[in-house]
Amino acid sequence: MKKASILITVLLAFQWVGAQIDSIQATQNDANSLIAVLQKLEATSGYQFFYDENWLQNVPAKANISNLEVTEALNELLKDSSLNYYVLNDEKRVILIQNGIIYDALPKGFFGQSDSTQNTRSTVYQEQVADPVFYDSKGQKGKKKYPVVRVGKTDKNKQKSAYILQGRAINTRTKEVIPDLAIRVAGSNRLVVTDENGNFSIELPSGYNRIKASAMGIANTERELLIYSDATYDFEFEESLEQLEEVVVAADAVRNVKETTTGTEKIDLEESKNIPLVLGERDLLQVAKALPGISSAGEGASGLNVRGGKTDQNLVLLDDAVIYNPTHFFGLFQALNPFTTKGVEIYKGTLPVEHGGRLSSLFDIRSKDGNVEKISGEGSIGPVTGNLALEFPIKKDTSSLMIGGRGAYANYILKSLDDPALNNSSASFYDGIIKYNHKINEKNELRATAYYSKDAFSITSDSLYQYSNRLASLRWDKRISDKASSALVLQNSDYRFGIDFENLSNASFDLNYGISETGLRYKLKTTSNEKHTYEYGASAKLYNVNPGSIEPLGTQSAVIPKFIQKERAIEAALFIGDRFTVSDKFSIEGGLRYNFFAALGPKIERTYEPDFPLNDATVQSTTDFGSGDIIKTYGGLEGRFSARYLLNENSSLKASLNNAYQFIHTLSNNTTVSPIDTWKLSDFNIKPQNGYQASLGIYNNFNDNMYEFSIESYYKLLYNVTDFKTGADLLLNDNVETEIIQGEGKAYGIEMLLKKNRGDLNGWLAYTYSRSFYKFDSAFSEERINNGEYFPSNFDKPHDVSLIANYKLTKRFSFSGNFVYQTGRPVTFPVGTFRFNNADFVAFSNRNEFRIPDFFRLDLGLNIEGNHKKNKLAHSFFTISVYNVLGRNNPYSVFFVTEDGEVKALQSSIFAIPIPSITYNFKF
């Protein structure tokens, strides 16, 4: 029936073209066969009909065609048949065709043009779509029928059984490219997913093909296509009606099954907008924690731990530039404007070969491309922050500027509270982003992003803490040919923090830390034949680190300016990867990446006596390196391999193996990330970290991709991870290597995820069992932790359950809920007291010998959409949420203080009571 309705649709289009035919009266309808009716029609209309009588043998003529025009009469008569007709007005002839159609023009795609220049014909049948008469209501809803597309041109010398079709997927309405669109060849397991620029490349058997395309927000579409040679064709796709409603939790329909790599997650910020979070702030990073394998040390702890890795092992990119601290306010809020952020792709296993330098994960955060059609904006007003994003087309359909701003107004709250302890406190943060995107032509596209975020807070009147991120990136995407594309990225990032301490003594100071990096990356992607897609290129970055400086503040201060020696280094990589489609079912991705790191002068480096602990007493010599001198180089080859085997159309088995190097480390003597943690480059005495990870997973989608289910397991080994001697002083330390110890880690786990992507009730349930252990052993007791035995990490939380659910009650009201259960994290507890210096102190257990009680929390939210009047100025909705509905007093830490010589045990929790909030969002 599908075919029939396509034909009828096409037919109608033709009919409309020839609609000026004269009005003809069909007077007879009493004959009992179609042939008879047609003959009469022929006689009365003056049109000559051409057909094969065999076609009409068993077709009854039931329709009453009295007083109808010829075309109307034919429509009625042929409605239930497999016949089409074509009217030649000049010759007054009507030709009937069975199944097939007659084109009076070449299909537009014939010469490789895009659908974007489609003529009125297609516009017409879009209008006609509304006519229910021509739809088979069963299974056809929401689907449109398109004409068969013919692409390529047969070349007798190059005939093959299969050809490569390349092109782009484009949203009909917005003209924006559609990334992550799954394109499947009907009747086979062959699948491709469009890349971030909407490009795809697929191998098709010669001749007729049916292609099914699906992506969130895009109507499931089926297209017929005749391919005669390797060709390029851009498809246009309609948005699905669903997008007008809440598309709450979604994922690319078959991406999880089809991708070759393991351990990837994707969060679309729009999808996550209903998830209730603390104080109504939308937060990608918090949503990420609800996915298996991603956690943090605790509520309100900054820094993410991915699959048992340390917090410094994540590469967080915003539009290709590194963002060193993507959070505000100790990690409670993300430092990203929710309205300018498109989403994040998270790689927990094998990183794309073009990225490297971190052991655990890649968070590839992308900002939205500005609207190239009209000015639009989005904003929200919440209890803590206000957000605004505006998009301005610079040149219609070509370029656009997006500006986002966000600020916290917590200070007003602080000042208004009637508590003297608080009037001296202040806390504020803001961030802003500007993005420009320009489509130079069909082949070249340019994107530029600039971003800045800043936090400032003070607890006492004499100190002010602040930190900031600044980054900029420029990306040029180019389609070199049908088979090759390139990307050139230039990026610069800068992270710094400072402490101003000012009081009446002679010790007022201004302390600063900063790290900046500038990098260039060039990547080429070529498809050599139907089996291989290569990606290769090179990248390099230059680091400049100010590891700490202190200067006197005010005229009274006797603080001597001190500048810890600056660090400089180059990190470069050459990489090549191949996506190899071995068969319809089996595909492999292999990549090699050679990393090179060189620490550069000027710097004075100490050499310590071998086989002795590093301290002032074991210095053997010092070497003075001149500017640009190479102090020390490290290098290493990384291999990244993954394989996928499709068990059937909806399930697959995947495995991956990779290793990685990391040349940069955070220095922290806290149990969780703090804003005064510093980043340190590998140098003469501090070796790069490296790690290995193997993973295996099974993926299954069922119920027409409504459900996604996956189980992934991993095993990971880490070497030369950093930790510190107990009570180490890391800031402003000239010889910080004397405080650092390097050891090894291992982590393993199994991650289960069940997602429901559609329906009034949607969301996901994730369960992770994982362990992570570290070991710091040495011949010297001060360089050992727990006697050199493995101990659980601060974030070793074996059981982790997350449930995220959204329920749409009506078009205007939807509920959402978020439940988290986690094993309590390991902590170091005091096991007794001792008397020293006339006071009691506590003696601590081995590192992480105990655990705080288990953590659980339930958050609920309600979304109220504004009315759906069409011509409203702005679309708006309210989000009401209650964080920690159960009021569970989840312990964050247990600590001990000595007060008046007595030891007291204190338990702290961040949010011990339910916290309601209301946020107003608007969009225009």
Partner 1 sequence: MDRINKYFFLLFVILHLNCVEEISVDNQFQSEINVEDILVVEATITNEFTQQKILLTRASSFVNDSTIVYERNASVSVVDDIGNLFSFENTIDGQYDSSEAFAAEIGRSYKLLIATDKGEEYESKFEASAGESTIDNLYAERVTTDTQIDGIAIFVDSSNPSGDVNYYRYSYEETYKIIAPNWTSSEFEILQEYELIRDENTGELLEIIYPDVKLVPRMQEEQICYNSIKSNNIILSDGSLLNESRIDKNQVRFINRNNPILSHRYSILVKQFLQSQDAANFYNTLADFSQSENLFSQIQPGLIEGNIKSTASTQKIVLGYFEVASVTQKRLFFDYVDFFPNEPLPPYFNDLNCPSFFSPRLFNSSLSPRDGGYDSYNCGVQTELVDHLKAEAVEFYLVNTDPPDYCEGPYLVTQRACGDCTVLGSNVKPEFWIE
Number of other residues whose CB lies within 10 A of the CB of residue 529: 12
- Does position 609 interact with partner 1 (CB under 8 A)? The reply is no
Cβ-based nearer residue to partner 1, 399 or 671: 671
State the nearest-atom distance from the C-beta of 432 to partner 1, in Å: 21
Task: Tell me, letter by letter, the H, E, C secondary structure of 89-124.
Answer: CCCCEEEEEECCCCCCCCCHHHHCCCHHHCCHHHHH
| Residue that is written with structure tokens 């851009």 in the block | 234
CA dihedral 304, 308, 311, 312 (to 10 degrees): -140
Measuring CA to CA, which residue among 615, 595, 762 is closest to residue 664? 595
In the chain, the amino acid numbered 878 is F
Cβ-based nearer residue to partner 1, 345 or 677: 677
Residues 36-75 that bind partner 1 (CB under 8 A): none
Cβ-based nearer residue to partner 1, 302 or 350: 302
- Does position 918 interact with partner 1 (CB under 8 A)? The reply is no
CA-CA distance, 299 to 912, in Å (whole number)? Answer: 11
Cβ-based nearer residue to partner 1, 181 or 827: 827
State the nearest-atom distance from the C-beta of 510 to partner 1, in Å: 12
Cβ-based nearer residue to partner 1, 720 or 890: 890
Measuring CA to CA, which residue among 114, 118, 96, 120 is closest to residue 198? 114
State the nearest-atom distance from the C-beta of 735 to partner 1, in Å: 12
Residues 560-579 that bind partner 1 (CB under 8 A): 560, 562
- Does position 508 interact with partner 1 (CB under 8 A)? The reply is no
CA-CA distance, 857 to 912, in Å (whole number)? Answer: 10
Cβ-based nearer residue to partner 1, 701 or 794: 794
Measuring CA to CA, which residue among 160, 181, 158 is closest to residue 169? 181
* Binding test (CB under 8 A) with partner 1, winner from 417, 480, 637, 864: 417
CA-CA distance, 879 to 814, in Å (whole number)? Answer: 10
State the nearest-atom distance from the C-beta of 901 to partner 1, in Å: 3
* Binding test (CB under 8 A) with partner 1, winner from 107, 112, 300, 407: 300
- Does position 840 interact with partner 1 (CB under 8 A)? The reply is yes
Per-residue binding string, partner 1, 534-553, x by CB under 8 A, is ----------------x---
Number of other residues whose CB lies within 10 A of the CB of residue 17: 15
Cβ–Cβ < 8 Å for 757, 250: yes
| Residue that is written with structure tokens 């994730």 in the block | 766
- Does position 841 interact with partner 1 (CB under 8 A)? The reply is yes
CA-CA distance, 473 to 775, in Å (whole number)? Answer: 39
Per CB under 8 A, which region of 247-255, 520-528, 797-805, 906-914 contacts partner 1? 906-914
Per-residue binding string, partner 1, 629-668, x by CB under 8 A, is ----------------------------------------
- Does position 28 interact with partner 1 (CB under 8 A)? The reply is no
List, in order, residues 6 or more apart from 58 with CB less than 8 Å away. Answer: none
Per-residue binding string, partner 1, 686-725, x by CB under 8 A, is --------------------------------------xx
* Binding test (CB under 8 A) with partner 1, winner from 19, 31, 375, 831: 831
* Binding test (CB under 8 A) with partner 1, winner from 570, 711, 894, 918: 894
Per CB under 8 A, which region of 203-211, 262-270, 618-626, 670-678 contacts partner 1? 670-678
CA-CA distance, 863 to 877, in Å (whole number)? Answer: 7
CA-CA distance, 437 to 344, in Å (whole number)? Answer: 19
Residues 173-232 that bind partner 1 (CB under 8 A): none
Cβ-based nearer residue to partner 1, 217 or 891: 891
State the nearest-atom distance from the C-beta of 835 to partner 1, in Å: 6
Per CB under 8 A, which region of 16-24, 212-220, 406-414, 747-755 contacts partner 1? 406-414
Cβ-based nearer residue to partner 1, 805 or 842: 842
In the chain, the amino acid numbered 343 is G
Cβ-based nearer residue to partner 1, 146 or 911: 911
CA-CA distance, 250 to 271, in Å (whole number)? Answer: 6
State the nearest-atom distance from the C-beta of 205 to partner 1, in Å: 60
Cβ-based nearer residue to partner 1, 362 or 408: 408
Please give the structure tokens belonging to residue 312.
């410094």
CA-CA distance, 165 to 230, in Å (whole number)? Answer: 6
* Binding test (CB under 8 A) with partner 1, winner from 19, 43, 241, 906: 906
- Does position 895 interact with partner 1 (CB under 8 A)? The reply is yes
Determine if the peptide bond prior to 205 is cis (ω within 30°). no
Pairing of strands 182-185, 162-171: unpaired
Per CB under 8 A, which region of 91-99, 250-258, 499-507, 704-712 contacts partner 1? 499-507
- Does position 106 interact with partner 1 (CB under 8 A)? The reply is no
Cβ–Cβ < 8 Å for 98, 78: no
Handedness of CA 198, 199, 203, 209 (dihedral sign): positive
State the nearest-atom distance from the C-beta of 716 to partner 1, in Å: 22
List, in order, residues 6 or more apart from 485 with CB less than 8 Å away. Answer: 197, 199, 477, 478, 479, 524, 525
* Binding test (CB under 8 A) with partner 1, winner from 74, 499, 545, 646: 499
CA-CA distance, 903 to 834, in Å (whole number)? Answer: 10
- Does position 778 interact with partner 1 (CB under 8 A)? The reply is no
Handedness of CA 77, 81, 83, 86 (dihedral sign): positive
Using N-to-C axis directions, what is the helix angle for 2-17 and 70-78, rounded to 10°? 180
Residues 136-175 that bind partner 1 (CB under 8 A): none
- Does position 832 interact with partner 1 (CB under 8 A)? The reply is yes
Residues 321-380 that bind partner 1 (CB under 8 A): 329-332
Per CB under 8 A, which region of 65-73, 555-563, 659-667, 763-771 contacts partner 1? 555-563
How close are the terminal C-alpha atoms of the chain, in Å? 42
Residues 844-873 that bind partner 1 (CB under 8 A): 844-847, 849-850
Task: Report the half-sphere exposure of 822 (CA within 13 A, side-chain side).
Answer: 29
- Does position 673 interact with partner 1 (CB under 8 A)? The reply is yes
847 SS3 class: coil
Number of other residues whose CB lies within 10 A of the CB of residue 112: 15
Handedness of CA 247, 249, 254, 259 (dihedral sign): positive
What would you measure as the largest C-alpha separation in the chain, in angstroms? 121
- Does position 773 interact with partner 1 (CB under 8 A)? The reply is no
Cβ–Cβ < 8 Å for 471, 455: no
Cα distances (angstroms) measured from residue 271 to each of 338, 343, 408, 757: 11, 9, 24, 10
Per CB under 8 A, which region of 188-196, 261-269, 519-527, 842-850 contacts partner 1? 842-850
* Binding test (CB under 8 A) with partner 1, winner from 39, 565, 651, 670: 670
Number of other residues whose CB lies within 10 A of the CB of residue 303: 24
- Does position 836 interact with partner 1 (CB under 8 A)? The reply is yes
* Binding test (CB under 8 A) with partner 1, winner from 650, 671, 818, 919: 671
Per-residue binding string, partner 1, 427-456, x by CB under 8 A, is x-----------------------------
* Binding test (CB under 8 A) with partner 1, winner from 460, 481, 583, 648: 460
Per CB under 8 A, which region of 526-534, 649-657, 798-806, 824-832 contacts partner 1? 824-832
Residues contacting partner 1: total by CB under 8 A: 102
* Binding test (CB under 8 A) with partner 1, winner from 157, 627, 838, 867: 838
Cβ-based nearer residue to partner 1, 558 or 630: 558
